[in-house]
Every structure is written in structure tokens, then in C-alpha cells.
């Protein structure tokens, strides 16, 4: 499995001059732009914890992982359609393969957080441990969602476009640019239904302890993640024979 | 880690129990009316579910070498082999097997032109269920059997289709599976290499390895197979000896896939390979 992932990664980056640096440059560009817009151009309004650049980076990297993972999972089965008829590996390996490739991209981009910590000279406390918890939960959520998205997009070609729209909307609906604490009390539990809300807050609590959402919010976020995992597995099981026919 | 469930206690190598399958096909629009003609002109296609197998039951005993022939030449043998290997799931009924089945289909197309031959051996080997350690262990055998001495570290792009088929064939054989489901030539390569192939296949035959072969030419079938299944319209119309089957179908109509077909396959797959490259949005 890891051998296949290594091939995928080396193939993806080999043709590019900057190679693996691209795993870093894309989210870096995004976080710098967002920081410039919201801190310099629209400065003054406090959107979240300070320093804002670090605040953004900590959430944008997982977001980038999420969005690139889900959007490339739309092609997971189609992309491997020539190997599916002969592969004796389980069908869902195509999805796992895409997901692990993207996860490595995310891990490669983590030094950006270190970089942001150094230039803003702010370091996390012991609660940074939640960062790893958030990583695991996001992995669970992404596996479920990838299976769901990959299975459906084999059968419904339009689905990839729908996913793109949903992802774009989800960027603003998730507390990437802002802190969940800024959401009015009444809307907060609705916002917590978004599984990314709890996860992104967990990534941040190492630096900003008041980013913690109430226990209920976490339960909701993680419950929804678990729901997607189960939904993904069930959908895939139901559709597997049709996916294989398309290969 | 296998995709399919294996019953080691099954007394048959492969068992089809009331299996039905339909496959989605793209069909050009039919019909004579003006709008139908216009749609045909615009290359609009419609998707239909075409029946491939209808309530098919048969068993293959261990060590049997079964030729699968499609009388109507609709290419349904590939689907049957995929069912055997478990890379297709029947709509109805069950397929059981007592050991891992290695499918040998679309051979040249499995090779990724952008990787070296050695990398390709690893990728194909993993797809066929070997672990990297096993592949390393058998690498010498693969290289000598397929005669890859000089090209092993060059890019597969530079390799002729015939060599690509040979690589995939040899890696498939290196899995040391007990059941093979092969389509196209059982033996690949030029004359000299065919000899190597035959020697190997005949040694497997002596060990009691089960083969299902399809898309094969008549002389090879007569030489190698002990039994033949003839499919027509989703049913088995004959289950008997190869001679009986060839008498029924007509000798000349059982032909090996031609080189053109292989080239076409590669063309198709090169196109697909480009689509395979993922770009982040």
C-alpha cells in the first residue's frame, strides 16, 4: 500500500520543478492571501485569536487537506478504472490510496505551522495534544466522506461538480477564517453540526485555550463524523457491484 | 487482504451457483426517425443494461483447464473471468472459489509508461496481491523468465507492447496462484519466449493448477485445455470437450486477439492514463 502511495506522490511531483515544495506552497499562498485581506486590508475587526496569521495557518492546512482529499476522491475509482478489473486488492483501496497520498501532502505541509509559530513567536501549551486527536478524527471523517463521494461520483458524473460547490460553501461555513466563539450563541449549535467546526477548534486549542467549544458541540461534531463514516461504508457496500461494472 | 472470500474447504476450484449478471453498455441510438438520426449524428449514446449471464451454474474441479468460448463473440468471456476472480460481483447467485484467483486480463494496459519496468513490476505485483518482500524475493525469477536483463531500469514508455505483456504475464505467474483466469493469449511473446512460457505453463499443469482460458486460438486450446464451455446469449450452450466445442462454434471463428486489438487497447489506456493524473482543483 505505502509503495503505491510513494509511486503516486513521486509521480505527482516529479514533473514539477519545485517538486515536493508544492505541497507547502499552495496552502502557504492561501494563508498569506487570507491574512493580507483580513488583517491588513480589513484590519481592525478581530476575526479570531491573535496572532491572526498563525490562527489562519493552523486551520488552513487541515482545510486544504480536507478539500483536496474530498475533491480528488471524486476521481478515485475512475482514475484506477484500468486496474480494478485485475486487482485482487479490496475495491476501497483506491479510495484509501488517494486519501493516504493527500494525508502525506498534509504532513509535508506541517512545517508551515512551525514557520508561523517562529515568525509570530507564540508557542502552544500542553493542550497541543488535541492537535493529534483532531488529526485522527479528521482522518475518520475524510475516509467516510471519500468513500461516499467516490462511490456516488462513479455513477453520477455531475456529482463531482456538486461536491466542488459544497466544498466552496463549506469553506465559509467552517471556522477557518473566524473563530467559532464569534458565532452568535443561537447559531452556534447549528454551526457545530458541521463536523469541521469541532475538528478545527481542536487543532487550535493548543494556542488559544478559549477556542474550546462546549462539550455538546464536540459531541455533535464527532457524532456527525462518525455518521459520515458509517454512511460512507454503507453506501460503498451497496454500490460496490455497480462501481466494479463501470471499470 | 483479499478482495473476495475464499472457501478453502470447497471441493471445487470454482463454483458458479445460479449466477446472473448484466453490464451497462453504451449503445449508439437506434431508430429510423429524424430525431434518432440526428442524435446518432451527434454521437449521442444511450446506456442499456445488457444481460451477460443468465442463471449460469457450473463447477470447475481443481486441475481442470477450461476453455471459455463466446459463440456470439460479444466479449462476454472477460466478464465471466472477472466474476471468477471476484473483480465483478454477480447481480444474482454466488461465485465460490477455493483459492485466490489471479486474473490475467488487459495485460499491456496495466503497465504505466511513466514508471520504470522495475517499478511496474512492483505495482502490478501489489495489485495481484503480493507483498513487496515477496516481489523482491521473486524479482530474479521474473527478470530471467521475462528476459528483462537490459531494460529493467528503463522507462516502460520505451518498451514495445509485446514486452509489456510479457512483464505482466511473468508477474502474474510469479504470484504462484492455484487458479488463473486468462484472456487473450495464454502464452505471450515471440517464438523463443513462447517456449519458455509453455515450459512454465506445462509445469504448472503437472502441479494441478487450474486454468480458465478465453479468447484463445484453436490450436492452443486443443493442446492445453481439457474441457470447454460455450456461452451464447448468457447461457452455457455446451459443456464438453474442446473438439466438441470447436465443432459447434467453427474452428476458424475462434481466434486469438490480434495485435491491432492490443494496439487499440494501449491507445485507449494512454488516454486514460492522462485522465488518471490528479490535479488538485
CA–CA–CA angle B251, B255, B260 (5° rounding): 155
Residue A192 confidence (pLDDT):
76
Q: Which single residue is written with the C-alpha cell 504462484?
A: B176
pLDDT at A140 over 80: yes
Q: Is the peptide bond before B203 cis (omega within 30 degrees of 0)?
A: no
Cβ atoms of B31 and B209 within 8 Å: the answer is no
Residue among B164, B156, B219, B209 nearest B188 (CA):
B164
* Residue of chain B with shortest Cα separation from A241: B89
Residue B281 confidence (pLDDT):
33
Residue B260 confidence (pLDDT):
44
Q: Which of B106, B122, B280 comes nearest A86 by C-beta?
A: B106
| Higher pLDDT among residues B263 and B13, named by residue | B13
Residue B195 confidence (pLDDT):
79
Q: How many CB pairs under 8 A join A and B?
A: 99
**Residue B235 maps to which CATH number?**
3.40.50.300
Residue B266 confidence (pLDDT):
54
- pLDDT tens string B25-72: 766 666 667 777 777 777 666 777 888 888 888 888 888 888 888 877
Element (H, E) at B210: strand B210-214
A238, three cell numbers = 451497496
Cβ atoms of A246 and A81 within 8 Å: the answer is yes
| Coarse DSSP helix, strand, coil percentages of chain B, rounded to the nearest 5 percent | 40, 25, 35
- The SS3 of residue B212 is strand
Residue among A114, A110, A112 nearest A122 (CA):
A114
- CA B122/CA B130 separation, integer angstroms: 9
The dihedral formed by the CA atoms of B23, B26, B30 and B33, expressed in degrees to the nearest 10: 130
B158, three cell numbers = 520505451
CA–CA–CA angle B199, B205, B209 (5° rounding): 130
| Higher pLDDT among residues B190 and B278, named by residue | B190
Mean pLDDT of B78-107: 84
pLDDT at B254 over 70: no
Residue B132 confidence (pLDDT):
84
- CA B252/CA A80 separation, integer angstroms: 36
Contact between chains at A75 and B280 (C-beta distance less than 8 A): no
pLDDT-based confidence at residue B278 (cuts at 50, 70, 90): very low
pLDDT at B158 over 60: yes
| Higher pLDDT among residues A191 and B90, named by residue | B90
Mean pLDDT of chain B: 77
Residue B159 lies in a domain: yes
- CA A75/CA A7 separation, integer angstroms: 17
A25, three cell numbers = 506552497
pLDDT at B280 over 50: no
Which range has the top average pLDDT, A74-83, A93-102, A188-197, B213-222? A93-102
Cβ atoms of A211 and A231 within 8 Å: the answer is no
Cβ atoms of B53 and B47 within 8 Å: the answer is no
Q: In angstroms, what CA-CA distances link B180 with A138, A183, B11, B66?
A: 41, 61, 17, 10
- CA B245/CA B251 separation, integer angstroms: 9
Q: Does A103 touch chain B (CB under 8 A)?
A: no
Q: Which of A11, A83, A90 comes nearest B114 by C-beta?
A: A11
Query: Distance between terminal CA atoms of chain A?
Result: 20
Q: Which string of DSSP letters, residue by residue, matches A203-236?
A: HHTTT-GGGPPPHHHHHHHHHHHHHHHHHHHHHH
Contacts of A1 (CB under 8 A, 6+ apart): A93, A96, A97, A100, B126
- CA B128/CA B107 separation, integer angstroms: 12
Residue B281 lies in a domain: no
Mean pLDDT of A37-47: 72
Mean pLDDT of A161-182: 86
Domain boundaries, chain A: 2-246
Categorise residue B251: left if φ over 0, alpha if ψ from -120 to 50, beta otherwise: alpha
Q: Which single residue is written with the C-alpha cell 466438441?
A: B244
- CA B156/CA B111 separation, integer angstroms: 7
Residue B187 lies in a domain: yes
| Higher pLDDT among residues A47 and A72, named by residue | A72
Pick from A195-199, A216-220, B132-136: least confident: A216-220
- pLDDT tens string B80-92: 888 888 888 888 8
Residue B49 lies in a domain: no
- CA A35/CA A202 separation, integer angstroms: 21
Mean pLDDT of A16-43: 77
A114, three cell numbers = 512551525
Helix axes A195-204, A129-155, angle to 10 degrees: 150
- CA B38/CA B40 separation, integer angstroms: 5
Cβ atoms of A229 and A140 within 8 Å: the answer is yes
Residue B48 lies in a domain: no
Q: Which single residue is written with the C-alpha cell 456538486?
A: A162
Residue B44 confidence (pLDDT):
67
Residue B47 lies in a domain: no
Within 13 Å of residue A140, how many CA atoms lie on the same side as its CB?
18
Residue A218 confidence (pLDDT):
82
A177, three cell numbers = 477564517
Element (H, E) at A78: helix A76-79
| Contacts with A162 from chain B: Cβ below 8 Å | none
Q: Which of B50, B276, B277, B279 to mutate to test the interface with A (most CBs of A within 10 A)?
A: B276
CA–CA–CA angle A145, A151, A156 (5° rounding): 115
* Residue of chain B with shortest Cα separation from A23: B280
Quote the minimal CA–CA distance from A185 to chain B in Å.
35
Give the number of domains in chain B: 1
pLDDT at B1 over 50: no
Residue among A82, A246, A9 nearest B110 (CA):
A82
Helix axes B161-174, B259-276, angle to 10 degrees: 80
Within 13 Å of residue A70, how many CA atoms lie on the same side as its CB?
28
pTM over 0.90: no
Element (H, E) at B258: none
- CA B258/CA B190 separation, integer angstroms: 14
pLDDT at B229 over 60: yes
Residue A230 confidence (pLDDT):
95
Residue B194 lies in a domain: yes
Q: Does A80 touch chain B (CB under 8 A)?
A: yes
Q: Which domain holds residue B111?
A: 14-22+59-276
Contact between chains at B4 and A78 (C-beta distance less than 8 A): no
The beta strand positions in B2-109, using DSSP E, are: 14-28, 45-60, 65-70, 92-97, 101-104
pLDDT at B268 over 60: no
Quote the minimal CA–CA distance from B244 to chain A in Å.
31
Mean pLDDT of A160-185: 85
Q: Does A22 touch chain B (CB under 8 A)?
A: no
Residue B150 lies in a domain: yes
Amino acid at each position: 500500500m505505502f509503495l503505491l502511495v510513494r509511486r503516486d506522490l513521486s509521480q505527482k511531483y516529479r514533473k514539477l520543478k519545485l517538486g515536493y515544495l508544492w505541497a507547502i506552497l499552495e496552502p502557504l499562498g492561501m494563508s498569506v492571501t487570507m491574512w493580507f485581506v483580513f488583517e491588513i486590508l480589513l484590519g481592525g475587526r478581530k476575526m479570531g485569536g491573535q496572532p491572526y496569521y498563525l490562527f489562519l495557518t493552523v486551520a488552513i492546512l487541515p482545510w486544504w487537506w480536507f478539500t483536496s482529499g474530498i475533491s480528488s476522491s471524486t476521481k478515485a475509482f475512475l482514475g484506477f478504472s484500468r486496474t480494478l478489473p485485475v486487482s485482487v486488492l479490496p475495491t476501497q483501496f483506491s479510495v484509501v490510496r488517494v486519501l493516504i497520498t493527500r494525508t502525506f501532502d498534509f504532513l509535508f505541509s506541517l512545517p508551515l505551522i512551525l514557520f508561523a509559530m517562529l515568525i509570530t513567536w507564540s508557542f502552544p501549551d500542553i493542550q497541543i495534544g488535541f492537535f493529534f486527536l483532531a488529526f485522527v478524527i479528521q482522518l475518520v471523517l475524510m475516509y467516510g466522506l471519500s468513500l461516499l463521494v467516490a462511490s456516488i461520483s462513479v455513477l453520477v458524473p455531475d456529482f463531482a461538480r456538486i461536491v466542488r460547490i459544497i466544498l466552496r460553501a463549506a469553506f465559509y461555513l467552517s471556522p477557518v477564517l473566524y473563530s467559532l466563539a464569534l458565532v452568535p450563541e443561537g447559531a452556534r449549535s447549528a454551526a457545530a453540526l458541521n463536523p469541521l467546526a469541532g475538528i478545527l477548534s481542536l487543532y487550535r486549542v493548543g494556542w488559544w485555550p478559549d477556542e474550546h467549544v462546549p462539550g455538546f458541540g464536540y459531541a455533535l461534531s464527532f457524532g456527525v463524523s462518525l455518521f459520515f463514516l458509517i454512511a460512507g461504508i454503507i453506501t460503498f457496500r451497496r454500490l460496490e457491484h455497480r462501481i466494479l461494472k463501470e471499470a | 487482504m483479499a478482495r473476495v472470500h475464499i472457501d478453502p474447504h470447497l471441493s471445487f476450484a470454482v463454483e458458479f451457483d445460479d449466477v446472473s449478471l448484466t453490464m451497462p453498455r453504451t449503445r449508439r441510438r437506434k431508430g429510423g426517425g429524424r430525431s434518432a438520426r440526428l442524435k446518432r449524428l451527434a454521437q449521442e449514446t444511450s446506456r442499456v443494461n445488457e444481460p451477460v449471464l443468465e442463471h449460469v451454474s457450473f463447477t470447475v474441479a481443481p486441475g481442470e483447464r477450461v476453455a471459455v468460448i463466446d459463440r456470439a463473440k460479444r466479449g462476454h468471456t472477460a466478464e465471466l473471468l472477472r466474476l471468477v476472480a471476484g473483480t465483478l460481483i454477480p447481480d444474482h447467485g454466488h461465485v465460490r472459489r477455493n483459492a485466490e484467483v489471479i486474473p490475467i486480463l488487459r495485460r499491456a494496459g496495466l503497465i504505466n509508461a511513466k514508471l520504470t519496468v522495475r517499478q511496474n513490476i512492483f505495482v502490478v505485483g501489489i495489485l495481484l496481491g503480493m507483498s513487496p518482500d515477496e516481489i523482491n524475493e521473486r524479482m530474479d525469477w521474473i527478470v530471467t523468465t521475462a528476459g528483462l536483463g537490459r531494460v529493467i531500469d528503463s522507462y516502460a514508455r520505451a518498451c514495445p507492447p509485446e514486452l509489456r505483456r510479457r512483464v505482466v504475464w511473468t508477474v502474474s505467474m510469479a504470484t504462484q496462484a492455484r487458479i488463473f483466469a486468462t484472456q487473450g493469449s495464454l502464452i505471450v511473446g515471440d517464438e523463443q519466449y513462447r517456449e519458455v512460457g509453455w515450459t512454465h505453463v506445462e509445469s504448472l499443469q503437472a502441479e494441478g493448477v487450474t486454468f480458465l482460458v478465453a479468447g484463445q486460438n484453436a490450436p492452443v486450446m486443443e493442446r492445453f485445455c481439457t474441457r470447454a464451455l460455450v456461452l451464447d446469449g448468457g447461457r452455457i450452450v455446451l459443456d464438453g470437450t474442446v473438439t466438441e466445442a470447436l465443432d459447434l462454434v467453427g474452428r476458424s471463428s475462434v481466434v486469438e486477439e490480434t495485435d491491432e486489438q492490443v494496439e487499440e487497447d494501449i491507445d485507449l489506456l494512454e488516454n486514460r492514463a492522462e485522465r488518471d493524473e490528479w490535479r488538485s482543483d
